[in-house]
């Protein structure tokens, strides 16, 4: 498997953030990355947002620029990959290419790029609103190809291509870039590309360029469908069927007993009132279900047209699929991962319970690995690092020690 860790305090969901996290976010990122490296994980992942929701303002969120934060992490780690997030909607390709290649050099070949098109933040960049998904992904395609051409425009020292700089001369729908880049490509090779988003546009984009996708898969059926679809699309894009690794977020709650683990899970969501959950459904689907009783059944006919604009097409499609296949009660719907979280796969129980869940998904060819999202407590995270990861290695589902010094090597990219 390929296993990464999100550099977010997911175990504090619903509670006040610990003072040391907001007071010194750099130390938090470095310390968590060092824990992940001791456990042998392939990479850490730094998500990003370019706006501040009111709830985050109340908690005093410290959202460092992910690339700068990971540069600090690079200087205090040796092996673990460093995947930063850069939006294609608001940044110039030349600056992005230079920043990512700089991180690649600082980390000695351990950089990765999580490509996002963003779903909000336009008002912070002189825009009145976000373009539609088709436009955002069309821009992402041009942006990504331009960045890759910039990387190739300045060959690595001693490479077969020599050291001659090549102009890019790009003139497209969204960007004009002359090039070449003013920093050479690192000898480790091209920076691996990750993509977050499983809408139809997102799948097509991932299948054409990504080495891995950070997928929202709240259940195994969704994961299997996504993985099979991406493999078909990769072949259509003249790539190997397994070119895109499917890595869902795994939001786990681990404790010594199942009862304690479920108590952690309840505590993580008890701050979400019924009204808050109904508002989330309204935001995802555009459906007002507030007049329903909790025991009433939700059916597809209650939902508005699926083609209407929504905040996240991925989450809307997942929740619509679940309703169509299960026709749940409102009570069950309001407890779904798409509603109370970010549509992540949730696993609750002892170390062996969560281990069995991971093996079941892997054996069912639903995943190629996952992004660890520790939930409930720091002890839950410790049990993952100290006990669950070694058990995966014992079962030959993960390596026992690093056998590479680069992220490309960790991912098995030739």
| Co-location of 378 and 335 in the same domain | no
Q: How far apart are CA 127 and CA 4, in angstroms?
A: 34
Q: How far apart are CA 389 and CA 368, in angstroms?
A: 16
| Strand pairing class (170-171; 176-177) | antiparallel
Q: Is 140 within 8 Å of 99 (Cβ atoms)?
A: no
| Co-location of 293 and 364 in the same domain | no
DSSP strand E in 332-409: where? 345-349, 369-374
Q: Is 251 within 8 Å of 344 (Cβ atoms)?
A: yes
Residue 50 is predicted with a pLDDT of 84
Structure tokens at 316: 């809307």
| Co-location of 140 and 92 in the same domain | yes
Q: How far apart are CA 255 and CA 383, in angstroms?
A: 8
Please, is 362 exposed, middle or buried when counting C-beta atoms within 10 Å of its C-beta (0-12, 13-18, 19+)? middle
| Element of type H or E holding 45 | strand 43-45
| Co-location of 243 and 274 in the same domain | no
Domain containing residue 139: 2-257+344-411
Residue 20 is predicted with a pLDDT of 45
48 labelled binding-site residue: yes
Q: How far apart are CA 370 and CA 42, in angstroms?
A: 10
Q: How far apart are CA 367 and CA 246, in angstroms?
A: 5
pLDDT at residue 79 tops 70:
yes
Residue 120 DSSP SS3: coil
Residue 23 is predicted with a pLDDT of 65
Among 302, 323, 339, identify where a domain stops.
339
Q: How far apart are CA 388 and CA 382, in angstroms?
A: 9
Q: Which of 361, 357, 293, 285 minimizes the C-alpha distance to 324?
A: 285
| Co-location of 244 and 221 in the same domain | yes
pLDDT at residue 150 tops 90:
yes
| Element of type H or E holding 112 | strand 111-116
pLDDT at residue 90 tops 50:
yes
Comparing 11-25, 281-295, 394-408, the range with the smallest average pLDDT is: 11-25
| Co-location of 112 and 35 in the same domain | yes
307 labelled binding-site residue: no
Residue 283 is predicted with a pLDDT of 86
pLDDT over 90 percentage in the chain: 72
| Co-location of 200 and 246 in the same domain | yes
| Co-location of 324 and 175 in the same domain | no
Structure tokens at 5: 């860790």
| Co-location of 351 and 327 in the same domain | no
Q: Which of 280, 255, 114, 246 minimizes the C-alpha distance to 193?
A: 114
Q: In this structure, what CATH number is given to the domain that contains residue 387?
A: 3.20.20.30
Point out which residues pair with 85 in neighbouring strands: 114
Among 339, 363, 396, identify where a domain stops.
339
Among 324, 339, 354, identify where a domain stops.
339
Comparing 26-35, 106-115, 231-240, 282-291, the range with the smallest average pLDDT is: 282-291
pLDDT in tens, 126-149: 888 888 888 999 999 999 999 999
Residue 213 DSSP SS3: strand
Mean predicted confidence (pLDDT) in 254-280: 92
Residue 84 DSSP SS3: strand
Q: Is 170 within 8 Å of 149 (Cβ atoms)?
A: yes
Residue 112 is predicted with a pLDDT of 98
Q: How far apart are CA 123 and CA 120, in angstroms?
A: 8
| Co-location of 230 and 370 in the same domain | yes
Q: How far is CA 30 from the centre of its chain?
A: 19
| Co-location of 312 and 381 in the same domain | no
Residue 242 is predicted with a pLDDT of 95
Residue 61 is predicted with a pLDDT of 57
Q: Is 329 within 8 Å of 297 (Cβ atoms)?
A: yes
Confidence grade of residue 312 (pLDDT, cut at 50, 70, 90) = confident
Residue 310 is predicted with a pLDDT of 65
pLDDT in tens, 362-372: 999 999 999 99
Q: How many structural domains comprise the chain?
A: 2
Task: Give the DSSP per-residue string, 170-211.
Answer: EE-SS-EE----SSPPPTT-SPPEEEE--SHHHHHHHHHH-S
Arithmetic mean of pLDDT over the chain: 91
| Element of type H or E holding 58 | helix 54-59
| Co-location of 7 and 89 in the same domain | yes
Rg of the Cα trace of the chain?
21
């Amino acid at each position: 498997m390929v296993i990464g860790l999100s550099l977010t305090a997911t175990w504090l969901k619903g509670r006040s953030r610990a003072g040391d996290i907001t007071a010194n976010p750099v130390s938090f990122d470095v310390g968590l990355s060092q824990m992940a490296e001791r456990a042998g994980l392939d990479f850490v992942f730094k998500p990003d947002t370019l706006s501040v929701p009111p709830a985050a303002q109340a908690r005093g969120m410290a959202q460092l620029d992910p690339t700068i934060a990971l540069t600090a992490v690079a200087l205090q780690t040796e092996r673990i990959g460093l995947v930063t997030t850069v939006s294609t909607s608001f940044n110039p390709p030349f600056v992005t290419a230079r920043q990512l290649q700089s991180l690649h050099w600082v980390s000695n070949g351990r950089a990765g790029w999580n490509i996002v098109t963003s779903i909000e933040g336009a008002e912070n960049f002189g825009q009145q609103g976000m373009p539609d998904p088709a436009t955002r992904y069309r821009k992402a395609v041009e942006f990504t190809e331009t960045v890759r051409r910039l990387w190739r425009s300045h060959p690595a020292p001693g490479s077969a291509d020599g050291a001659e700089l090549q102009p890019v001369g790009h003139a497209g729908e969204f960007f004009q870039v002359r090039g070449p880049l003013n920093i050479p490509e690192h000898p480790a090779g091209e920076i691996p590309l990750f993509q977050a988003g499983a809408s139809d546009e997102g799948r097509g984009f991932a299948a054409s360029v990504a080495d891995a996708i950070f997928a929202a898969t709240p259940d195994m059926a969704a994961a299997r469908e996504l993985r099979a679809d991406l493999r078909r699309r990769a072949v259509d894009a003249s790539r190997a069927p397994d070119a895109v690794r499917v890595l869902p977020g795994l939001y786990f709650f681990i404790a010594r007993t199942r009862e304690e683990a479920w108590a952690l899970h309840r505590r993580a969501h008890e701050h979400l009132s019924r009204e808050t959950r109904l508002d989330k459904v309204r935001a995802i689907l555009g459906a007002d279900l507030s007049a329903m009783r909790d025991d009433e059944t939700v059916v597809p006919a209650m939902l508005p047209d699926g083609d209407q604009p929504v905040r996240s097409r991925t989450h809307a499609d997942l929740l619509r699929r679940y309703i169509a296949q299960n026709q749940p009660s409102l009570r069950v719907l309001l407890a779904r991962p798409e509603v109370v979280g970010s549509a992540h796969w949730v696993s609750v129980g002892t170390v062996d319970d969560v281990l069995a869940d991971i093996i079941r998904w892997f054996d069912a060819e639903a995943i190629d690995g996952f992004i660890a999202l520790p939930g409930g407590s720091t002890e839950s995270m410790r049990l993952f690092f100290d006990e669950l990861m070694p058990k995966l290695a014992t079962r030959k589902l993960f390596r026992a020690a690093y056998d590479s010094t680069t992220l490309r090597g960790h991912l098995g990219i030739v």
